[in-house]
Structure 1
Amino acid sequence: MRSRTKALAENQIAALWRLDGALREKTLWKMLYESAARADELLCLNVKDLYPQGKRGEITAKGGATEWIHWQSGTAQLLPRLIARRTRGPLFLTDRRAPAGTPTLDVCPETNRGRLSYRRAEEICEENTRLLANPLASPEGIEDLDGWTLHRLRHSALTHDAEGGTSTPMLLARSRHASVRSLERYARPGVDAVARHVAERDPAARRRT
């Protein structure tokens, strides 16, 4: 039976970072988790939207509002390699040249490659995480099973923040939700948080200390 919570456990996140994936995917997944942004927002980023020195980026959120996302050292270490010497165009690119008729804003003028789509990014994430999501599955049947979605990284980041005691105002700022009620989905503690809670209240452990 699948877990009811959408948040990944901390050991699952750690296993994801150990995957031998492509630089583009590593950067996207790390940025998703560290920024707690929506995947479509990150995929719409252009190189010019990034402010590496401040570990932040300017995005267009729901409704067309301009907002900021912030990342940590993991993303900061990967971004220079992903960008290389590019100074414009989409941040996350396809592996091939953009087909004729692709909107100019979705084509890198320096490489002629197109912007990576949400559909393709989601497919790659699911394909690469099937074994992590189904550790007991046989290799023969793995192709028929689901992997992890991009959204689970955002959900995991916000859930782990809530478990760590992050304040409601900060969670609202991180998630960029308009309503406190929207945070309820992240308030359900995950497996690791419950395990720590039980262990900390174990009478035997208290006697040992």
Structure 2
Amino acid sequence: MQWATPTARLLPRLLVGRTSGPVFLADRRAPTSGPRLPADGDIDPTTRRGRLSYPRAEYLFKTASATLDQHHQGWTLHQLRHSAAKRMIRDPNLTLADVQWVLGHAHITTTEIYANPAPDEVISHVLAHHERQRSGPPSLPAPPAPGYRPEVLAALFGTSQITGEA
């Protein structure tokens, strides 16, 4: 795996020397008694801080992303997962099976959902295609496959694919 972003490259430094306890910690110490007492594996042995919970991680992410969201509500971790999945699917260096493994999907058909382009992506690609067609040199039509007679093609399409005559 390639660690491309500065945040991702930070992970190995977080793990140096660690033999137990959670990697991502809450901003406060874990309770020492009561109904919310965490398991021993969920407490950092050095700082006694608890593992960062999913709701707390989502709150922090939503707060941090609120200014970027057009509705100013921030994004959920589930939305982040979907965004990552769509980006991985479009990476030519990753196979569909790679993405399936990363996402933990039991069936490849679940992962294939992310391969469907959004309408704005299709429109963008089609417009780019037409621009390339318009700006590039005109291309000659491909010759007909063996066995097609020019007079039949002329009758069907109005021009002969071989001679270009009307």
Letter of the aligned partner of 1:183 in structure 2?
T
The residue aligned with 2:83 is 156
Query: So what's the TM-score if we normalise by structure 1?
Result: 0.52
C-alpha distance in 2 between matches for 1:95 and 1:84: 20
How does 1:95-110 map onto structure 2 within 5 Å? 95-100=27-32, 101-110=37-46
Aligned residues of 2:96 and 2:112 also touching (Cα < 8 A): no
| Structural RMSD (CA) | 2.7
Residue from 113, 116, 123 that aligns with 1:185: 113
How does 1:17-28 map onto structure 2 within 5 Å? none
C-alpha distance in 2 between matches for 1:130 and 1:156: 16
Gaps of 5+ in 1: 1-69
The residue aligned with 1:28 is none
Which one is further off, 165-174 or 89-98?
A: 165-174
C-alpha distance in 2 between matches for 1:114 and 1:172: 31
The residue aligned with 2:100 is 172
Gaps of 5+ in 2: 137-166
Match of 1:95, SS state, is strand
C-alpha distance in 2 between matches for 1:83 and 1:191: 42
Residue from 28, 52, 77 that aligns with 2:9: 77
C-alpha distance in 1 between matches for 2:120 and 2:133: 19
Shift in Å at residue 167 of structure 1?
3.6
Of the two, which has the highest radius of gyration?
Answer: 2
C-alpha distance in 2 between matches for 1:84 and 1:191: 45
> CA 1:181–1:86 in structure 2 vs 1: closer, same or farther (change >3 Å)?
closer
C-alpha distance in 1 between matches for 2:114 and 2:58: 22
The residue aligned with 2:164 is none
Match of 2:67, SS state, is helix
Aligned residues of 1:159 and 1:190 also touching (Cα < 8 A): no
C-alpha distance in 2 between matches for 1:195 and 1:161: 21
C-alpha distance in 2 between matches for 1:168 and 1:80: 27
How does 1:121-136 map onto structure 2 within 5 Å? 121-134=57-70
Letter of the aligned partner of 2:96 in structure 1?
T
Q: Which has the higher helix share?
A: 1
Q: Which has the higher contact order (CA 8 A, sep 6+)?
A: 1
Aligned residues of 2:20 and 2:41 also touching (Cα < 8 A): no
Aligned residues of 1:86 and 1:110 also touching (Cα < 8 A): no
C-alpha distance in 1 between matches for 2:26 and 2:3: 25
Shift in Å at residue 182 of structure 1?
1.2
Aligned residues of 2:44 and 2:51 also touching (Cα < 8 A): yes
